[in-house]
Structures are given as structure tokens and as C-alpha cells.
Structure 1
Amino acid sequence: MDKLRSVKPNILFHLFVNIVVVIFITGASYYHTPLDGFKDNAIYLLHLILLQTTVAGLIYFLSLSKWVFRIVFSALFLSYCCFSFWSYSQDVSVTSGLIQAVLESKSDIVIDVITLPYVLFFMAAVVMLSFVLRFHSKIKPRKEFLIFSILALLCVSLYFFIENKRPGTLKNRLPYNVYFGLKDYFKKPDLILNTSISKVERIKDSIKVVFVLGETVRADHLSLNGYERETTPLLEKEGNVISFTKLHTDHTYTGKSVPQILTDQNLGDTIQPLTSVFSVANKANIKTTWIGNQTLEDSFGPITETNSSVILVDKFKSEFSFNKELDEVMLQPLDSVLKTSTPQLITLHMIGSHWWYENRYSDLFRKFTPVIDSKYVPSQSKEQMINSYDNTILYLDYFLSEVIQKLKAEDVPTAMVYVSDHGELLGEDGRWLHAQGGDVLKNPAYIFWFSDSFRAKYSTEVDTLSAIKNEPITTDDVYFRLLHILGIETK
């Protein structure tokens, strides 16, 4: 009893400091999570407790030294609070892109984002930090050092156990995402690109192509391909639309599929250097522009940067955000870029049908109900999941139709090529989402549209595609098909 009484101040201190860290830092990663019902909230409360348990172990080791705690903990706490404010207020994702903005932004831009709520939040953090430091000065950190150190090591090891079981469960949340964002920012990309493009020839004088790179859309959920639900009514009313039903990819997540689509890398081939489709287009004096609604990953960021210009919309919110802008925000910059020159290759990188589905379309497209109401997948019915997913396809139909209308207004031959990076599991064998095995994951959507003037001038190309639309084909086709449509001939 006396031993317990002697270490009681230490226990109370660590309870206090961890509650403060939850309120000011780790809780921000859960604030915007959509949940419904007691069970869902209980599950994510447990998730937060597990995350904070791993952080508690690190805090304990910092607390063993008075000056280390005062300097290191204080610096880390206030630094993380700078990020957590934006996670709380705007659901901003801490990624390498955000780290880049923080480290490279000009001083006048930084001053513009320091608002009154930001200052008040930071001042509250400073006040709370002063209480933590005062409490720490009154305890004997090395009391029962052995037993507490063993417990702290177990807490820290819990992070590695959870990440090994489900990668990304903790690393994508505060405070760990700051570390990994910094690591990605300073990391040298593994991707090696060919910067010496051999001579190319362009045989089409005036053409504009919009390449829409989709996300998580499976071919069999398009009514254009025979799906029983009407998910693509606008595309079905369009003329000159060709949809491939049997496109195959071995890659079931963005980090592997996108680099393969955008370069001359064959499926299953890891040989480098790789040649970017944009580099070849640039060599043929075609203006290339990337307009993206996804943050750039290390896996494809260097490829993206081979475009003549890169425009990122909503760039500080990744697919992990529950308040991300809809893909239609890319239509305005598309308008501006289309007016600039010809020939052109414009890429639109969608957030598409990536989970969480309810954040990927507006209320106007909520046709299939009931929809999902919680991020916790096991609490959702199969009907809810498929309804929400199909609503994202309805929104895709609208988005592609809008792109087509803009291309119709151009006075040169135009084309749109759409391909999704991979599909999505919707309850097959009790599994959901992607980045795992499953045939439906490997059959993404692949759609072409051509203007009347393109069809009149290059009818053979269009007829060839129409003839093979139900034939098996792999995503190797995308790179060469884009170059062919642009009229680029290369070795």
C-alpha cells in the first residue's frame, strides 16, 4: 500500500499528460470520423485508446529526464498542435505535401493562415503545457523505474504489432503521420525515369485529349457494360462512347497501378528506368497538364512532375479526409487549360470511388438508398455499401459527361480516355475495399469517347477500338493507346 501511495503522483501525472495529448493532438485524427450508434463509437474509442497507449510509452521515456522532458516534449507538443489545429478545423491530412507547404511556403503566405482561432488554440496549448511541466517538476520520474519501463516498452511495441497486422492503422494518424510525412518529404524516390527520350514524330496536327485517371471503379458496376442498375445514364445517351468490359490489371492499389499505367512499364515488369507518357508527349511538342484531386504519392509523384504544368486542387486533404472536395472542382481549371493551346494532353486525376463513399458525391446523386452511415464497415449492411458505391458511379457518369460537353465545344478533334487504377471488393467472400486479392479488383473500368470531328478524320482508329471492346486486354494498353490517339509515333 505504501509503495502504491509513493508512485501515485507518477500515475496521476501520466494520466493527466496523456489526456492533454488526446485533447490537443491525437483526438484530432478522429474528430471528423463518421460514426453511427454506440457500437461504432465504442470501436473507434478503443482505436483512439490503442493509439494513445503507444504514445504513452514514448511520453514515459521522455519524462525520465527533467530537462529532456521540458525541451523535447514541449517542442514536440507545440509542433504537433500546429498540425492538429488544421486536422480539427478543416480535416487536413498530414502528408508529405503538407510538410512541403509548411517548410517551403513564403512568409507572407504563412502569416495569412495565422487566424484568431489558430492563435487561441495555440495559446490554450501553451497554457496546458505549463500545467504539464509544473506537474512534472513535482514528481520523481525514476520511481519504480523497472516496472514502468517494462510497461512503457510494451506500450511502444503495441504500435509495431498493430501496424504489422493492419498497415496504416496508426501511422496515418497524429502524431505518427507527421513523422512519416517528413520521412516521405526527404526520401529520395525509388522510381527512376528515363530523361533521354528518343526521337518521336507527331502525325496529328491539332488535337486535344483529356485523360481521366479514375479511382476504385470496377467495370461490372457500369450499366454501360450491362450492370442491371442504371449507373451510367448520361454516357449511354452519348454517341461515340466505347467501353471495354475485360480490362485486366494485376495491381489492386494506387501505388502500384498508377505508375504502370502512366509509363511503358509492363504488368509484372520491374525493370527501370521507365518512360513517362508525358515525357514522350512533351518531346512531340504537345502541352501536358496534370490536374489532380489526389495528393501525390512517392510512387507516381515524379511521373506527374514530367507534365508541363501541375495543378493540385484541395491538395492538403488526402483520401483519408472525410471533408474532401468533390471531383467537379477540377472542371474549372480544365476550362482554363483547354483555352490555352493545341495540341494538348490534359490529365484529370480523380478521388473517384475511394472509400469513404459518402464523401465522393453530392446529395443530388443519392439515388440508391439506404446508404452507409458509419466508417466502421462491419456495422454496415451489404445493401448500404453497394448503394453508396453505386451512387459514386452515378457521380462519375455526371463528371465524365461534363468533360465530354467541354470537349464538344472545341473546334479541333478531341477525345477522352478514362481508366480506373483498379476495382473494389463489395462483399465478395466477405471482403470489402481494395489492396487485396479478388478478380473484380483486377477488372477496372476503361472508357473512350471521341468527338464527331475525330471520328470523321480518324475513323479507322475508332472502328478498331469498337471491334475489340469485349476482348481481354491489360492496362499495358493505356500508355500506348494514349500516344496513338495523340498521333505520336515512337520506337
Structure 2
Amino acid sequence: MKIATLPRIGAPMLTLGASTFLVLAYNSSFWKTFVSATGGIRLGNLPVYLGAFVALVLLFNAILTLVNFRFVIKPVLIVLFLGASAASYFMNQYGVVIDAAMVQNVVETDTREAHELLSWQMLQTVTLLGIVPSLLVWRLPLRFPPVRRDLLAKLGTVALSLLAIAGLLMLLFKTLAPAVREHRELRFLLTPTNMFQATHGYLKRKWATPAVIAPLGTDAGRGSQWAAQPGKRTVTIIVVGETARAMSFSLNGYTRTTNPLLAAQAGLVNFASVSSCGTATAVSVACVFSNLGRDGYSADKAASQEGLLDVLKHAGFDVLWRDNNSGCKGTCDRVRYEDVSQPKPGDPLCNAEECYDERLLGGLREMIRASPKDLVIVLHQKGSHGPEYFKRYPAGFGKFGPVCRTNELEDCSRESIAAAYDNTILYTDFVLSRTIDLLRAAAAEDGVDTAMLYFSDHGESLGEHNMYLHGAPYIISPAEQRRVPMMLWVSDGFRERFKIDNSCLAARATQQFSHDNVFHTVLGLLNVSTAVYNPKLDAIHPCTRRN
């Protein structure tokens, strides 16, 4: 039958059919989780499944009935179908959920990162579940009743739908209540309501961002250890890793040797049990450079006050953020900023699309020699950002294989995905080791005291629990997305100046730490005196011998 010959139907039939289609076509992730949450597939649960299905259809139908007007309903349904098809693809493909943080990731991701998520599989899904039903709706002839009768019918439909939903919930309450209470991720999986909740949450936070930034740590100054060597400069490099998970570091016991160079670095302290503030860059980077801690963090609060880099600037340090990623998420807005992520023709550290993390080190020795001030340099890596892990490292670091060489992870084995990811960790090992070598040489040849602190923003799922990538709501996120690497290296001169006991640090390396410790550890490391410093959250404070 040609679309042009489709029979004219009543507008209420369209909303009912669209509601049924929405519940069935775009919610496989929701139904899988719902079935698991209610005890799994068994005959006795059939009334629960049918009742939940009918309740959701009635709910969607009631909502759509409110906008079921000529010239309105068709555009609404087309937007829903297109958006829901894309959302369901990402949920099914990568095991992600749609929440405010995920919307923030989408909005703040650069075009190169976004391009990696596009695939033929996505095009097929959006075409089948988005474009085709949209075209059908657009061409479908509709019949609308007279206005007065139509309004009465709409009110009746909504009222009866809500009553029926209430009745179903009462009948199924004993089963549904514990399932919903214990599996709060269900609200992030129900499409398309998750899209609206997430977008509303993101826009609410975005629009609420204050124009005035509250100062923080303006009393910051140098502590007593600076007086001993007033003319000797310090250089501290903070490396912010991207998507590096702790369990893929051989320093933390991983079976593959992904850290051969770091393992040979004398004086390196590896903190083996560190948790992140969030599971996405937009959250974790803003959080870790604030003094809020995970429990006190919100995007609004972080955006409304200065952060760690501002406090260091108040203390007289020359602060630079050098980026090979998608920006600093507001944390470097008031310090110097360099973007090294844009490829340049002929640069051996870049390909046609992006640059490797080694480019972050370019010109640092010269900068250290030329600067008359104490430096704090933040290097923001591209790291292990997926799904195209194979693009994150030069060819010479493809030690593990065979590797997945596509962004369509369903076409790859778990082993090939892990191999590609492990190669990114091997390359990070090289970049960090080179950073330490650079700082060691600067200490020996340029007479400066040097230090490096590395931590990743969040981890990554590589198929565990059928989840991929990152960005899961923290409350339901797996350890793979929360556990991150962190390590510290200081030169002999730095250690002596600031009275740091490395053997004590090594003994503390297995203790539990988190991103909450970073703000205060950096201030303690550099002996910065300020009222916002909390020694209880300073990971190295028990290992200093200061007056």
C-alpha cells in the first residue's frame, strides 16, 4: 500500500498508536532492567509486565492527548521518534543512561569526539525507528472532531487514563514499589521521558549559573618551608587523565604490563584505591578542582565560586592549563590557557583528526627555563577516550592485539576492545614517564624543584555488565567507571624542601582516597597557607615533617 493511500484515521487513534509504539520500540533497555528488578521472567510475573505496559501506554497517551491538535501533534511525534531512536541506540549499544550529566556531555563534547559516536549502525537505527515512522506520521491523513467535542474528549481521555493508571499501580504496588525504589536507574531508561527529564535538569543548571564568581582562598600565601630557599623556583605539573580506569594499570595489579616505564621510575608513589567524583569529564573535572567534594558538589556551586587554580594564583603561582581534550569545564577560566589539540600539517605528533598526548610536553623545558616565577602547569590529556580507542596512540604503541578498529563496538570482541584500550594505557605510561624525565632533568640542569601529580577524571566500562564507555549515574555506576589511577612523583630537592617522607607515602598508597583529596593535597604539597585548606583531606599531610 502506498503511503498516499493510507486511510484517514481519528487523531485519538494516532496518539494511542504512537504511545504503544514508543513503549515497545525504544525501551528494550528499560524492559530488560524492569524484568530483572521484578524477579526475572516467570509466568507469575506476567500480570506485572502487562500491567506496567498498559500503565505506560496510558501515561504516554494522556500526555500526547494534551498536545493532540492540528498542526501540533505531527511535529511533536516526529521530534519524539527521531530523539528516541537516537537515545535508544546509545542505551542499547553502550549501556549508557540518559540523564542531565549525559546531556551536558553531549552539549560540551567537541565535534571530533561526537563524530566518533556516529556509525552506520546508528544511521540504520535512526532510519528504521526515527525517519520511517516520522514519514508515516507526516503523510498520515487525520480526522479531528469539532473543537468543543474534541476538548471534552481530551479531558475525558486524560482523566480516565490517570484513573486507570492509579488503579493499576494500586493492584501492582507490592511488586512495583520495591523494584522502583531499589532500581532508580529505571527513570533514566524510560524513553522518551528520560530525554525531557535530562534536558530539563541540564537547562535548569545551565540557566542558574550565576554571573558573579565568589572568590575563594584570597588569603592564600606561602608557608614556612618557602623561607628556607626563597630564590629557588618550583615547577609542579598536574596531569589530568581522560577515561583511564585503575584496574587496567599494571601498577594496580592488572595482568598485562601496561606500565613498564612508570614501574621503573624511582620515587613514584602509586595510590592504588582512588574513586572519582563523577563518571563523566564535565562533572569530574569541575568537581576535582573545587573544594566541594563529591557529596557537596553541584554544577551550580562549582560554577559560582573560584577553584584550586584560583587559589594557587592568589598564592603567587604562575598557572597554565594546557589542553589536548575538549576544554577545562570552567576550571581554568581565570588562568592562562593553551589548546594544543588542533592538528598542524607536518606535525609528527598529530594525525589528520587530532594530536597525541605527547604534544602536551612540547616546549615545556624552554618554558621552565624562561619563567621567573613558580609554575603550576595542568596537562589535560585525550587519554583513553572512546569508543575509537585505536586512535588515541601512535602505531608504535599497538603492543596488545588484535584491536577493535571501529566505533561500532558490537562488531568487536570484548578481547579486541580491551586490547585497544590497554594500548592507550601503555601510551599514557609513556607520556607520564616522559613528563617525569623532563622534570627530573629540569631539577638537575635548571636548579628547580619539581613534582608531578597524575589522576584520571573517571574510568571506563569495556563490556562488563554489558556496559560500555562511561557516564552512568554515580549511584548505579560500576567500579570500572569510578575507580581511577592516581600517582605522585617529586624530585629530591622538592622532597627535601617541603619535608616529605616518601617511605611514609608508600605505606599510605594502599589506603582509600578520592578526588575529594586532590584540592587539599595540592595545597599541602606546595605548602600553601589558606583558610580553605583542610589537612584532614590532604593525602600527604601525615607524611610531612614541617614546623
| Fold match (TM-score > 0.5) | yes
| d(CA) in 2 for partners of 1:487, 1:280 | 12
1:373 corresponds in structure 2 to 405
Asked if the contact 2:340–2:360 (Cα under 8 Å) also holds between the matched residues in 1, the reply is yes
CA distance in 2 between counterparts of 1:30 and 1:457 reads 42
Q: 1:373-405: CA deviations, max 9, x gaps? A: 221122211101111111000000011111112
Aligned to 1:329: 359
The separation in 1 between residues aligned to 2:483 and 2:397, in whole angstroms, is 24
Q: Which piece of structure 1 moves more, 267-276 or 480-489? A: 267-276
Displacement of 1:146 in angstroms is 4.8
Normalised by the length of structure 2, the TM-score is 0.57
TM-score, length of structure 1 as denominator length: 0.63
Select 2:490's aligned residue among 422, 425, 450: 450
Partner Cα separation in structure 2 for residue 32 and residue 488 of structure 1: 42
Q: Which residue of 2 aligns with 1:360?
A: 392
Instruction: Give per-residue Cα distances to partners, 1:60-119, cap 9 Å, x unaligned.
Output: 8xxxxxxxxxxxxxxxxxxxxxxxxxxxxxxxxxxxxxxxxxxxxxxxxxxxxxxxxxxx
Candidates 223, 233, 246, aligned match of 2:273: 246
Whole-Å separation in 2 of the counterparts to 1:316 and 1:192: 35
The equivalent of 2:131 in structure 1 is 53
Residue 47 of structure 1 deviates from its aligned partner by 3.9
Equivalent AA in structure 2 for residue 366 of structure 1: G
Identical positions, percent: 28
Q: Is 2:454 the counterpart of 1:418? A: yes
**Residue aligning to 1:78:** none
Matched, 1:476 2:542: no
Q: Does 1:225 align with 2:252?
A: yes
1:249-268: CA deviations, max 9, x gaps? 35111121111110111121
Q: Cα gap change, 1:464/1:489 in structure 2, threshold over 3 Å: closer, same or farther?
A: farther
Letter in 2 for 1:237: A
Shift of 1:165: 6.2
Q: Which runs of 5+ in 2 are unaligned?
A: 6-110, 144-188, 345-350, 532-547
Q: Whole-Å Cα distance in 1 between the matches of residues 113 and 423 of structure 2? A: 25
CA separation of 1:221 and 1:53: change in aligned 2, threshold 3 A: same
Could you tell me how far 1:283 is from its partner in structure 2?
Answer: 0.7
Residues 404-443 of structure 1: matches in 2 within 5 Å? 404-410=436-442, 411-436=447-472, 437-443=477-483
Instruction: Name 1:345's counterpart in structure 2.
Output: 376
> 1:104 maps to what in 2?
none
What amino acid is aligned across from residue 334 of structure 1 in structure 2? L
1:302 aligns with 2:330: yes
Decide whether the 8 Å contact of 1:197 with 1:283 is kept in 2: yes
* Equivalent position SS for 2:401: coil
Change (3 A) 1:50 1:484: farther
Matches within 5 A, 1:64-463: 146=142, 189=209, 193-195=213-215, 197-203=217-223, 204=226, 205=230, 206-270=233-297, 272=301, 273-296=304-327, 301-307=329-335, 309-314=336-341, 323-341=353-371, 342-355=373-386, 356-410=388-442, 411-436=447-472, 437-463=477-503
One-letter amino acid matched to 1:260: C
Aligned counterparts of 2:192 and 2:266: Cα–Cα separation in 1 = 49
- For the pair shown, which has the larger CA radius of gyration, 1 or 2? 2
- 1:409 Cα deviation (Å)? 2.1
Code of the aligned partner of 1:233: P
The 2-side partners of 1:486 and 1:51 are apart by 56
CA shift in 2, pair 1:55/1:200, >3 Å: farther
Instruction: Report the number of matched residues.
Output: 355
What is the identity, as a one-letter code, of the residue corresponding to 2:360?
M
SS in 1 for 2:287: helix
Letter in 1 for 2:470: H
What letter matches 1:227 in structure 2?
A: Y
Unaligned 5+ runs, structure 1: 6-27, 61-142, 148-159, 172-182
Helix, strand or coil: the match of 2:294? coil
Judge conservation of contact 2:277–2:283 (CA < 8 Å) in 1.
no
